[in-house]
Structure 1
Amino acid sequence: MTVVAVHRPNVYASRLGRGALGFVVLLAAVVAGTCIGETPIPLTTVAQVLANKLLGAGYPLDPIDTGIIWNYRLPRAIVAACCGTGLAISGVVLQSLLRNALADPYLLGISAGASTGAVTVTIAGLGAGAVSMSLGAFIGALLAFLLVAGLAKAAGGGVSLQGTGQIVLAGIAGSQLFNALTSFIITKSANAEQARGIMFWLLGNLSGARWPDVWLAVPIALLGLLATIWYARALDAFAFGADQAAALGIPVRTTQVVLIGVTALVTAVMVSIVGSIGFVGLVIPHAARFLVGVRHGRLGPATAIIGAVFLIAADVLSRTIIPGQVLPIGVITALVGAPIFALILLRGRRTR
């Protein structure tokens, strides 16, 4: 009993310390994303703008600097953090449920389905204004996953999807199908100006992120993180297979439905705000496992922080790598993610 009494405070202190460190790193990333851009803004100016807006400090500042920081860069950095968190958490959940190191919303076609749903609502006018862009993206994401899962299960002869390669192959086919549907809808229903805007958005674009997007992205990202923490024990159990998870008392079907629904919702909302961004859900969970191990109680929060910092850094790079131009953020994540994807494939081949 004495050992337990001494050990518990140490465990809680360690968790509190890791949480505080993660919060400081995330805060520093958001501030850096606000300072760095096409035109660098000093940290003192950013601090004074935040003091004026949040505390009513009354520092005399240039209204242009205030507008750039408060109305453009700060919400953009926060949305980037939420998007990175949501997509990375979705990758953790899918990789655990499917026991597949290559599972993520982009490769499984969920992002493509969400894009199709969002474009169907906004461009084709499905729902006559009664269906929001995020709801359309959610419906598209769910349909995409159901189609991919059904195709993979049929290709595998009806066996479980866990640990099989069919789900990734089916995801690639599903992505191509939904990308083709998206292109068809844009070509048929959009004018030239709308088509240019949509195509740029589909590659990942944070330029339009504003405070209303923050109020939508933050709770959805927190929902994904909290769901991962709440189901951490179940996700740990799924590492041994669905049958073993059931033997450990995990309600397998309910857990799968809830977590797949949360994953589809998080992916859909992030896609509806910033477009389809690939490889975040694939790369970040592997980096987090390398740092903190495979237990989801630690893996979930670590993935969320790393994903947020990674996408903020990618957004900063997309604005500064070519002077006077802004690259789609999906280009940056693909340049980083594609080589790591290849390394994962080669590592998997060596371990077989």
Structure 2
Amino acid sequence: MPLKTQAKPTDVFAKRARRRVVMFAALAALVFIASLLSIVLGQFYVPFSDLGRLLLAGPGQQELAGNVIWSIRLPRIVLGLFVGAALGVAGTLMQAVFANPLAEPSIIGVTSGAGVGAALVIVFNLTVFGTFTVPLAAFLSAVLVTFIIYGLARHQGKVQVVNLILTGIAINAVCGALISFMVYLAPTANREQIIFWQMGSLNGSQWKHVWVVAPIVVIGIAISLRLGRKLDVLALGEKAAGHTGINVPKLRIVAIGASTILTAGAVSFAGLIGFVGLIIPHLLRSIVGPENKILLPASALAGAALIALADVAARTLIPFADLPIGIFTALVGGPTFFVLLRRMMRKGL
């Protein structure tokens, strides 16, 4: 009877590398297909046969279909890709920092802080910076609330993860109360605007919005990718990471800062889109393993694909209606979250 031969380490690594190449290729293809569908589908259908000609003609053309593509759909698609990539990477960072697959950027108050800033501007009808007033207020408020949470969680010069989580829960509750109070005070039109903003949408996206969000996301992701290997070492424990020469407090600050900037930049223009930062890293981790140096770029692609597909559904599911994207990400994220909880319960966590 022939003996079974064990797989060589080189074969295992080669198989893992092939799987990762296939995954990245599949994610890139999914982003491309979702973007293509988003261009042609909608209230105004653009035939695939005309797509190449209309794209090559560039902006400013007289044909209606070309103007729809270049002035309405492309800025919306590109902004959505940046938003999805930002939320996916931000979620991966949070789960790595907190060593918990249930962690997401809302833990440190980014989304609730953005909600307070946006609601404040909408309630008082502030238009100091034109169409950038709400996004700017949301961004600054998100960053400010995160700083407050981190500062309050600091004790004797150190920030414990548990203190950070508990402080985040408390401040999130306060922010939620402030938003509810402003919704109650707001006139009907303003109230509807606040509620719709909290559901998340790419409606009204313009190229000028893309030019603001793009550098924020690119810089945030670039910083995040440089943290990948250090976060992998941190997964072994703070003491082990410290013994290898990693400054754990500094690493945590940089990771939380990058996650804050990415999330704030995304939600300030797209509103509160939930579950992307929660489900994307978890799903990818089950496919390619826990290495953050792989998860971070993969999360960017997967997050972009999810938002692109959700936006297609939001624009096409009901004729002549533009539904909030948050509805669809929650429909996907809710069941996924439940499955995650069940797995953890079975493992006795």
TM-score, length-normalised on structure 1?
A: 0.82
Q: Verify the 8 A CA contact 1:79 1:214 in the aligned structure 2.
A: yes
| Distance 1:34-1:169 versus aligned 2 partners, 3 A rule | farther
Q: Distance in 2 between matches of 1:79 and 1:17?
A: 26
Q: Verify the 8 A CA contact 1:228 1:296 in the aligned structure 2.
A: no
Tell me whether 1:36 sits opposite 2:41 in the alignment. yes
Q: Distance in 1 between matches of 2:206 and 2:50?
A: 20
Q: Distance in 2 between matches of 1:201 and 1:296?
A: 32
Write the mapping of 1:236-247 to structure 2, written as runs, cut at 5 A: 236-247=232-243
| Distance 1:276-1:282 versus aligned 2 partners, 3 A rule | same
What's the counterpart of residue 99 of structure 2? 99
Q: Verify the 8 A CA contact 1:29 1:312 in the aligned structure 2.
A: yes
| Distance 1:341-1:15 versus aligned 2 partners, 3 A rule | closer
Write the mapping of 1:243-258 to structure 2, written as runs, cut at 5 A: 243-258=239-254
What's the counterpart of residue 258 of structure 2? 262
Tell me the secondary structure at the aligned position of residue 106 of structure 2.
coil
Q: Verify the 8 A CA contact 2:153 2:160 in the aligned structure 1.
A: no
- Corresponding letter in the other structure for 1:335: L
Q: Distance in 2 between matches of 1:97 and 1:288?
A: 17
What is the deviation of 1:216?
A: 1.9
| Distance 1:316-1:247 versus aligned 2 partners, 3 A rule | same
Question: How many pairs are equivalent?
Answer: 333
Tell me the secondary structure at the aligned position of residue 139 of structure 2.
helix
Tell me whether 1:47 sits opposite 2:44 in the alignment. no
Gaps of 5+ in 1: 1-9
What's the counterpart of residue 143 of structure 2? 142
What's the counterpart of residue 185 of structure 1? 182
| Distance 1:19-1:184 versus aligned 2 partners, 3 A rule | same
Q: Verify the 8 A CA contact 1:114 1:267 in the aligned structure 2.
A: no
Q: Distance in 1 between matches of 2:129 and 2:37?
A: 38
Q: Distance in 2 between matches of 1:125 and 1:27?
A: 39
What is the deviation of 1:133?
A: 4.3
Deviations 1:179-204 (A, max 9, x none): 2212323444x443233223212210
Tell me the secondary structure at the aligned position of residue 315 of structure 2.
helix
What's the counterpart of residue 294 of structure 1? 290
Q: Distance in 2 between matches of 1:72 and 1:128?
A: 25
Gaps of 5+ in 2: 1-14
What is the deviation of 1:76?
A: 1.0
- Corresponding letter in the other structure for 1:63: E
Q: Verify the 8 A CA contact 2:27 2:305 in the aligned structure 1.
A: no
Which moves more between the two structures, 231-240 or 18-27? 18-27
RMSD: 3.4
Q: Distance in 1 between matches of 2:275 and 2:341?
A: 14
Write the mapping of 1:2-21 to structure 2, written as runs, cut at 5 A: none
**Which residue of 334, 341, 345 maps to 1:349?**
345
What's the counterpart of residue 326 of structure 2? 330
Between the aligned residues of both structures, percent identity stands at 34
Deviations 1:147-188 (A, max 9, x none): 55677789xxx9831xx6x76666455434312212323444
**Which residue of 187, 193, 197 maps to 1:197?**
193
Q: Distance in 1 between matches of 2:24 and 2:319?
A: 37
Q: Verify the 8 A CA contact 2:108 2:168 in the aligned structure 1.
A: yes
| Distance 1:192-1:227 versus aligned 2 partners, 3 A rule | same
